[in-house]
Chains A and B, each alone.
Chain A
Amino acid sequence: MAAANCTVRIASPLRSYTAGASSVTADGATLHEILANLDRRFPGIRFRMIDEQDRIRPHMRLFVNTSEARALSESVRAGDTVHVICALSGG
């Protein structure tokens, strides 16, 4: 599958990695590739979402458009939006 260009919407607590950007673009045909691409440009951001066993952390949810991604092997198509959702604590 060819590399895709998709939009990644960044959860507020992770925007310190993206210089405050709420939305960035990333290339990749799978979520794994998208996050690797993201991590090259914003070092450390992947580890905030994914643990050492490549599992999505329990306080994070990833969606491709409105479908939840449960594994990094899920494919991503050009034009998709990956939503990174993070538990928030503020009240």
Chain B
Amino acid sequence: MSLSPAELARYHRHLVLDEIGVAGQQKLKIARVLVVGAGGLGSPAALYLAAAGIGTLGIVDCDRVEVSNLQRQVLFGTGDVARLKVEAARERLESLNPQIAVVAHAVELRAANVRAVLGDYDLVLDGTDQLSTRYLVNDACVIFGKPLVAAAIHRFEGQAMTYVPGRGPCYRCLFPEAPDGVVPNCAQAGVLGVLPGVLGAIQATEAIKLILGIGEPLIGRLLTYDALDMRFNEFPIERRRDCAVCGDRPTITEPQDSEESCGTASMETVRRLTAPDLKNLLDHATSAGALLLVDVREPREFNTGHLERAINIPINELARRLGEIPREASAVFICRSGGRSLAACAMAMRAGIREPAHLEGGLLAWASEVDPTLAIASVG
């Protein structure tokens, strides 16, 4: 595919690079790249890919522009608030470079549509803000054999890694499973506006390198960036032979939906009480009903030893028994070491119980710091 005079002029600075030249620019022109998520990462990535002359650029997002997006999502202007992100993005990207085609996918990526959406593209950039989508995109790229440049951000920190089929680890090799209901997103945790600019530009760089076949991609290397310390680090990551999707005996052979684990509940917003904190609260509680201790261990564990006035609702019964917790009560969830109680907090928050708390370190911490006479059953 030849370059027009207008393209020769536009991409002059690429053309004079030996590593790109006319042949490389032609590769960019016929490339088809999909950006999943038109957010903080997707914005700079899409802008740079469009400017670089990626011939077909797809954007997936079902959200509308909100005013709070504008602090970092540089694809959009104030006048775009309330518009569909993909529509505003297409307009902006086509204005930046009328010589490319921008395809808007105003859909939520799910197992049912991921094959159709990804199918036409050579390479995928993941800039989603949901872990469930992050795993779905990874699994789909592995199964469909497409390169993936993934990045993620939190407050002042970011990560990026590139997956190329047959050449290294995938995102599930890096983190085999998502945490249980506990990862805050940008809305909850906050994010430095310029942070995704750095990571999104890295994603665009990786995509362009892969298309051109130049340089050394971030395959098997996790790149981390700390904006406060202004520090980059990289860590070697190996492909896991037992990876559920790219391992020797994969158990995930078709893309599948998973429940979004972060939702609106997060560890950041759960009140964490140390054992002395809880002791203090109990000592000063004005009425017995004000503070409700909910022990979420199994009855066998509960019967071995528990805190005075605690009620027992095992974690696997909690979803259907949340009604037993009065809305006006201040609920403190308790378990052996603090894991199940944290999951209970997430469930309680999703059910509308305000400000649930949990005992950090569980009854093991209580026995260690407050009451060594408490008998604690072992697990299992």
Name the contact of A90 in the complex, choosing from B129, B226, B272, B337 (C-beta under 8 A): B129
Which residues 256-283 of B sit at the A interface, judged by CB distance below 8 A? 262, 267-268, 272, 274
The answer to whether A11 has its CB under 8 Å from any CB of chain B is: yes
- What bracket does the count of chain B residues touching chain A fall in? 35 or more
The answer to whether B58 has its CB under 8 Å from any CB of chain A is: no
B residues within 8 A CB of A87?
131, 152, 174-175, 178-179, 183
**A25-33, A43-51, A72-80 - interface stretch:** A43-51
Distance in angstroms between the alpha carbons of A58 and B135 in the assembled complex: 13
A residues within 8 A CB of B222?
61, 85
* B196 and A83 form a contact (CB under 8 A): no
B residues within 8 A CB of A15?
155
Distance in angstroms between the alpha carbons of A89 and B196 in the assembled complex: 12
Name the contact of B152 in the complex, choosing from A44, A68, A83, A90 (C-beta under 8 A): A90
A residues within 8 A CB of B55?
none
Distance in angstroms between the alpha carbons of A60 and B180 in the assembled complex: 12
The answer to whether B361 has its CB under 8 Å from any CB of chain A is: yes
Residue of B nearest to A81 (CB): B233
Name the contact of A88 in the complex, choosing from B157, B268, B337, B338 (C-beta under 8 A): B157
For the complex formed, measure the closest distance between the CB of B299 and the CB atoms of chain A, giving whole angstroms: 19
A residues within 8 A CB of B174?
61, 87
Given known pairs A13-B154, A13-B183, the reply for A90 and B336 (CB within 8 Å) is no
* A91 and B129 form a contact (CB under 8 A): yes
For the complex formed, measure the closest distance between the CB of B93 and the CB atoms of chain A, giving whole angstroms: 18
Distance in angstroms between the alpha carbons of A88 and B130 in the assembled complex: 9
A residues within 8 A CB of B127?
91
For the complex formed, measure the closest distance between the CB of B198 and the CB atoms of chain A, giving whole angstroms: 13
Name the contact of A83 in the complex, choosing from B158, B235, B272, B379 (C-beta under 8 A): B235
* B158 and A59 form a contact (CB under 8 A): no
Distance in angstroms between the alpha carbons of A85 and B237 in the assembled complex: 12
For the complex formed, measure the closest distance between the CB of A89 and the CB atoms of chain B, giving whole angstroms: 4
B residues within 8 A CB of A52?
336-337, 339, 379
Query: Beta-carbon contacts of B154-189 to A below 8 Å, as 1s and 0s?
Result: 111111000000000000001111110001111001
A residues within 8 A CB of B268?
13, 16
* A44 and B155 form a contact (CB under 8 A): no
* A85 and B235 form a contact (CB under 8 A): yes
Distance in angstroms between the alpha carbons of A24 and B310 in the assembled complex: 37
Distance in angstroms between the alpha carbons of A63 and B236 in the assembled complex: 10
A residues within 8 A CB of B25?
none
B residues within 8 A CB of A57?
179
A residues within 8 A CB of B18?
none
* A91 and B337 form a contact (CB under 8 A): no
The answer to whether B41 has its CB under 8 Å from any CB of chain A is: yes
Closest 6 CB pairs of A and B: A12-B157, A91-B129, A88-B152, A44-B360, A58-B177, A87-B175
Q: Which residues of B contact A (CB under 8 A)?
A: 37, 39-42, 126-131, 134, 151-159, 174-179, 183-186, 189, 191, 196, 222, 224, 226, 228-229, 233-237, 262, 267-268, 272, 274, 336-339, 360-361, 365, 379
